[in-house]
Amino acid sequence: MAGGEPGGFYLEFSTLLAAALERHGVAAHARAVSTGGSLDNIAELRAGRAAFAVALADAAGDQAGAEGAQIAAVGKVYENYVHCVVRKDSGIRDISGLAGRRVAVGQPGSGTSLTTPRLLEAAGLGTSADAAAPAAGTAAVENLGLNDGIAALKAGTVDALFWSGGVPTAAIAAAQQEVALGLLDLSALLPELRRRYGGMYDRVLIPEGSYPGIPAVWTVGAPNLLLCRRDLDDATVERTVQLLVHNAGELIPQSTLGVQFLSAESLINTAGVPLHPAAAAAYRTLHG
């Protein structure tokens, strides 16, 4: 299982799924491995180093149609919520306030690093690698992942952190105990995102209470998919689908509110990424 960064939802989910694959006899041995995120995970699949991976639908969609990609979906396992995290004392109230600021946009290899530039472009913001003097109307971007980005936000060396993950994300909740944080409403960007990239992005709510002291906020959501190689054997894929449908309760990390997770109705909504043929057959058998 190609997972994600420590402290993030991908690795938590992947660890639970790997254990469930062993416990229910789907695999004799399974383990989750730490990665940079969606793009790294897809690369692990393509190279044959992983049998399963989790990835954002926008990243998976870019790769699944590529010649020789050998990638298919097993199902949509949960909704990813884009977090734009700022310090409460920053004075930043909306995404336009990131102009002239330093922004952590995800580490290379992560799905966040793909989604964040799309959000900034939709907001009409340019990007610059010059942290000292970004041009007017641009944000100075730094390729920092979740943990390094949180450290930089606490230290004041970046003004905002983008992260795409589950709710709550444990590392952000822990940081909130040390420094007062806020989340920006990103939902106004949806019309432009959909105009540019189609309907894969959704308006989703991070509920009040997800992070202590932070009110409910609307943001951008993207489907998060469980992927596999197209040449993975049918029996393994079919039994994995049955595990997702019948044992979903075993796959919800303790840190999550569970509001965005695994439902029988949403598993087949893979945002245009084709299902593995055995997965499609298993859903037809289960749901007609």
Q: State the Cα–Cα distance between residues 285 and 79, nearest whole angstrom.
A: 25
What type of residue is 181? L
The reported pLDDT for the residue numbered 35 is 95
- Please check whether residue 42 lies inside any domain of the structure: yes
Same domain, residue pair 43 and 155 = no
The reported pLDDT for the residue numbered 264 is 67
Same domain, residue pair 178 and 266 = no
- Please check whether residue 123 lies inside any domain of the structure: yes
The radius of gyration of the chain's CA atoms, rounded to the nearest angstrom, is 19
Q: State the Cα–Cα distance between residues 1 and 111, nearest whole angstrom.
A: 16
- Please check whether residue 106 lies inside any domain of the structure: yes
* Among candidate residues 196, 221, 246, the one where a domain is terminated: 221
How many other CB atoms are found less than 10 A from the CB of residue 156? 12
- Please check whether residue 2 lies inside any domain of the structure: no
The reported pLDDT for the residue numbered 83 is 97
> Per-residue pLDDT for the chain (288 aa), expressed as one digit of tens each?
999 988 888 899 999 999 999 999 999 999 999 999 999 999 999 999 999 999 999 888 866 555 456 899 999 998 889 999 999 999 999 999 999 999 999 999 899 999 999 999 999 999 988 777 777 889 999 999 999 999 999 999 999 999 998 888 889 999 999 999 999 999 999 999 999 988 889 999 999 989 999 999 999 998 889 999 999 999 999 999 999 999 988 988 776 765 556 776 789 989 889 999 999 999 999 886
How many other CB atoms are found less than 10 A from the CB of residue 135? 12
Q: What are the strands, taking DSSP E only, across 45-176?
A: 52-56, 71-87, 102-104, 126-128, 138-142, 160-165
The reported pLDDT for the residue numbered 23 is 97
The reported pLDDT for the residue numbered 260 is 58
Q: State the Cα–Cα distance between residues 132 and 46, nearest whole angstrom.
A: 38
Same domain, residue pair 103 and 161 = yes
The reported pLDDT for the residue numbered 69 is 60
Q: What CATH number has the domain bearing residue 110?
A: 3.40.190.10
Q: What are the strands, taking DSSP E only, across the chain?
A: 52-56, 71-87, 102-104, 126-128, 138-142, 160-165, 181-183, 202-206, 217-229
The reported pLDDT for the residue numbered 80 is 87
The reported pLDDT for the residue numbered 271 is 85
The reported pLDDT for the residue numbered 129 is 83
What residues make up the domain containing 200?
A: 80-221
- Please check whether residue 73 lies inside any domain of the structure: yes
* Among candidate residues 205, 221, 237, the one where a domain is terminated: 221
DSSP symbol at 227 = E
The reported pLDDT for the residue numbered 66 is 57
Which residues contact residue 79 at a Cβ distance below 8 angstroms, ignoring those fewer than 6 apart? 202, 204, 221, 222, 223, 224, 260
Same domain, residue pair 84 and 205 = yes
The reported pLDDT for the residue numbered 144 is 96
The reported pLDDT for the residue numbered 244 is 95
Same domain, residue pair 181 and 142 = yes
